[in-house]
Amino acid sequence: MNSTTPLPDPSSFPDQLTEFTLHGPVGSLEAISDTAERPGARRGVAVICHPNSKDGGTMRNKVVTMLERSLRESGLDTLRFNFRSAGESEGNYDNGKGESDDLAAVVSWVRKVRPNDVLWLAGFSFGSYVTLRSAVALKADALISIAPPVGRWSLETLALPSCPWLVVMGEDDEVVEPQAVFDWIDSLDPPPELIRMPETGHFFHRRLMDLRGSVKHAIRDWLPPLRD
């Protein structure tokens, strides 16, 4: 996005699948929102974060889109966005710090247009690092971490959320060492809910539908009330 006259942020949450841009700390952020089917929609919005842009990660990643689908089918409206440097979002990669600022800006907009909704944060790989390092400060009401990158970023030093928290990890992950994740979870008190998925790697090839079902099953007791 190179426009010198940026469009204003939308004044309301779109009521259908919509692509738009939001103001970020260093420029515009490309975003996609969608809404849960009515009736059955819940009073909540899930903000979903993608893998590392240095490795080609964007909000259109297959795991991210399946995670979005599982949350929307559970009744949450959803918003995914590209961190700085990914897709059409402006700015340069910042190893998690600037990306956390991007997330904070997106959450600020969500809370402005949906002040009465609960906020869920969800992320895949690098996106799970960013959401975890931000969950306490942003007062998330629930957190979902898919393949958290233990050993690649310092998750061990982060403030841990007290909200409901789900971790999903492939037992054959070739990018993140699965046992390192399991050992890290065992060290936490209280630990998050853990789903270990056998016979699948980092990108859940051939297991994306299983991922969808596992997430939907795990979060059903955490869901906010139905919309009026």
Q: In whole angstroms, give the CA distance from residue 167 to residue 1.
A: 34
**Does the predicted TM-score (pTM) go above 0.85?**
yes
Closest residue by Cα to residue 165 from 148, 149, 177: 148
Confidence label for 6 from pLDDT (cuts 50, 70 and 90): low
- Longest CA span, the chain: 50
Domains of the chain: 18-219 (3.40.50.1820)
Closest residue by Cα to residue 62 from 207, 174, 225: 207
Instruction: Kindly report the backbone phi and psi dihedral angles of residue 68, in degrees, each rounded to the nearest multiple of 5, phi listed first.
Output: -60, -45
Return the SS3 of 30. Answer: strand
pLDDT over 90 (residue 157): no
Structure tokens at 219: 């979060």
99-143 pLDDT, tens digit per residue, is 999 999 999 999 999 999 999 999 999 999 999 999 999 999 999
Strands 118-124 and 77-81, how do they pair? Answer: unpaired
Contacts for 205 with CB less than 8 Å, ≥ 6 apart: none
pLDDT over 60 (residue 3): no
Q: What is the pLDDT of residue 154?
A: 87
41-71 pLDDT, tens digit per residue, is 999 999 999 999 999 999 999 999 999 999 9
